[in-house]
Amino acid sequence: MTCKEAEQMIMPYINDELTDKELEAFLEHVCSCGSCYEELEIYYTIYAGLAQLDGENEGQDMRNLLQEALYISEQRVRGRKLFNVFYTFSQVLAMAALTVIIVTEILNL
């Protein structure tokens, strides 16, 4: 992902509009690119600051809020990956079970 692409994803990220794939690529870039992280921090601080005016997140440090948000996003990406692994595994297991049943049936003929 380029910095330009990452910058375009900042607002969708804050609005929670990224797909899991986009989110993963975005997090990867932001965590390894200082200038994009700074950019995100600025946007996030503004956004979180506005939310604070509404009474949300009262008394919380802005930096911590972004760290927390990034952590939650990472957990989401990781959780989705884990789910995919589990899903694939259960599919393979189901196929194996089916194969065993079919083979047993054939052997019993």
Site size for Zn ion, by CB under 5 A? 4
Out of 14, 18, 25, 33, the only residue in the binding site for Zn ion (CB under 5 A) is 33
Out of 9, 10, 27, 36, the only residue in the binding site for Zn ion (CB under 5 A) is 36
User: DSSP string of the chain?
Assistant: --HHHHHHHHHHHHTT---HHHHHHHHHHHHH-HHHHHHHHHHHHHHHHHHHHTTTTTT--HHHHHHHHHHHHHHHHHHHHHHHHHHHHHHHHHHHHHHHHHHHHHHH-
CB of 8 or CB of 91, closer to Zn ion: 8
Q: Is 102 in the site for Zn ion (CB under 5 A)?
A: no
Residues within the interface to Zn ion (CB under 5 A): 3, 6, 33, 36
